């Protein structure tokens, strides 16, 4: 009788163990399914969703109402090479990383500078471009200003776009100046044209474009940008397959010379002006 009870207890134990193993296997399988890479989801849906904000000449609404710009070209070429459609999701820059993290889009392709603070929240690809910060100033309010130190005064007001690396650059290099932050970059430049601030800190080549377009009120006080920033795609953390695929794609189109050609068109010429102005 004791032997029968012992065998029965053993069988029950084995069944419980098998049940636990089955549950564990199912849980692991579910976790694996949940970890499906973003690039796999893109291929399955047939749509690449790209988060971006408007920065001239990275992305801007053209005369026909469609988006044009360097980043638009990059994302469109990426989608074409993947054999999928591209869907742009315009998003305010200050909230673009949180929007990526909650899945509003698959990737940020929007002239995003690679910084340590951002890299704590997202994974960046290899740089596919480089940018830098420059200053465009008001001729009357900043008359005689020709160095960063000239702007590094408490009475100087600087306009920047909220959430951009321009803000960090201004705080680092001209910390005494008063910053005025705007959700839209065009608002910052309008304040400068109106003479309400001494200067705008922004990405090249927009600063140079503004000085050329409004030579009666604006000028470039520095001979060159005062920072140099690597630009990368941003993806959610933990997605190694997607990061690897994007890195491979960037390497391929860089070696083709396509990225350099597109960069020269959008940043080295104004041949595109009729599309956006």
My answer on whether 215 and 257 are in the same domain is no
Residues 235, 116 share a domain: yes
The answer to whether residues 181 and 120 belong to one domain is no
Asked if 151 and 183 sit in the same domain, the reply is yes
Residues 42 and 126 reside in one and the same domain: yes
pTM over 0.95? The answer is no
Q: Where does a domain end: 200, 219, 238?
A: 219
- Quick one: 99 and 82 in the same domain? yes
49 and 116 fall within a common domain: yes
Q: Note the pLDDT of residue 8.
A: 55
Whether 47 has a pLDDT exceeding 90, the answer reads yes
C-alpha to C-alpha distance for 195 and 209, rounded to whole angstroms: 18
Instruction: Give 123 or 30, the one with higher predicted confidence.
Output: 123
Q: Which of 177, 193, 219 is the last residue of a domain?
A: 219
* Tokens coding 247: 């890195």
Please indicate, yes or no, if residue 25 is contained in any of the structural domains: no
User: 96 and 113: one domain?
Assistant: yes
Same domain? 95 vs 158: no
157 and 101 inside one domain: no
Q: Is residue 225 one of the residues assigned to a domain?
A: no
> How many domains is the chain built from?
2
Query: Do 148 and 187 lie in a common domain?
Result: yes
For 93-149, write each residue's pLDDT tens digit: 999 999 999 999 999 999 999 999 999 999 999 999 999 999 999 999 999 999 999
Q: Is the pLDDT of residue 27 over 50?
A: no
Shared-domain flag, residues 85 and 105:
yes
Range of the domain at 53: 38-130+230-276
Q: Can you give the CATH number for the domain in which 141 is found? A: 3.40.190.10
- Count, in order, helices (H) and strands (E) of the chain: 12, 14
Q: What percent of the chain has pLDDT over 70?
A: 87
Domain presence at residue 14: no
The answer to whether 175 and 255 are in contact (CB under 8 A) is no
Domain boundary among 219, 239, 268: 219
């Amino acid at each position: 009788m004791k032997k029968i009870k012992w065998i029965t207890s053993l069988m029950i134990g084995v069944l419980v163990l098998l049940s636990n193993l089955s549950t564990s296997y199912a849980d692991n399988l579910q976790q694996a399914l949940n970890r499906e890479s973003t690039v796999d989801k893109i291929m399955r849906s047939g749509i690449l969703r790209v988060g971006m904000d408007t920065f001239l000449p990275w992305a801007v609404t053209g005369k026909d109402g469609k988006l044009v710009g360097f980043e638009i070209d990059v994302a469109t070429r990426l989608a074409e090479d993947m054999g999928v459609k591209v869907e742009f999701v315009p998003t305010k820059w200050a909230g673009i990383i949180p929007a990526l993290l909650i899945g509003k889009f698959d990737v940020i392709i929007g002239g995003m500078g690679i910084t340590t603070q951002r890299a704590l929240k997202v994974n960046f690809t290899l740089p596919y471009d480089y940018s830098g910060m420059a200053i465009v100033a008001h001729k009357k309010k900043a008359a005689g200003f020709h160095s960063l130190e000239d702007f590094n005064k408490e009475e100087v007001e600087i306009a920047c776009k909220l959430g951009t690396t321009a803000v960090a650059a201004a705080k680092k290099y001209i910390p005494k100046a008063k910053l005025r932050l705007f959700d839209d970059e065009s608002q910052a430049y309008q304040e400068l044209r109106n003479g309400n601030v001494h200067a705008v800190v922004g990405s090249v080549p927009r600063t140079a474009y503004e000085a050329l377009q409004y030579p009666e009120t604006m000028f470039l006080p520095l001979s060159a940008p005062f920072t140099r920033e690597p630009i990368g795609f941003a993806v959610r953390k933990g997605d190694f397959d997607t990061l690897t695929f994007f890195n491979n794609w960037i390497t391929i189109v860089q070696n083709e010379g396509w990225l350099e050609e597109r960069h020269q068109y959008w940043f080295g010429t104004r041949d595109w002006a009729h599309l956006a102005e």
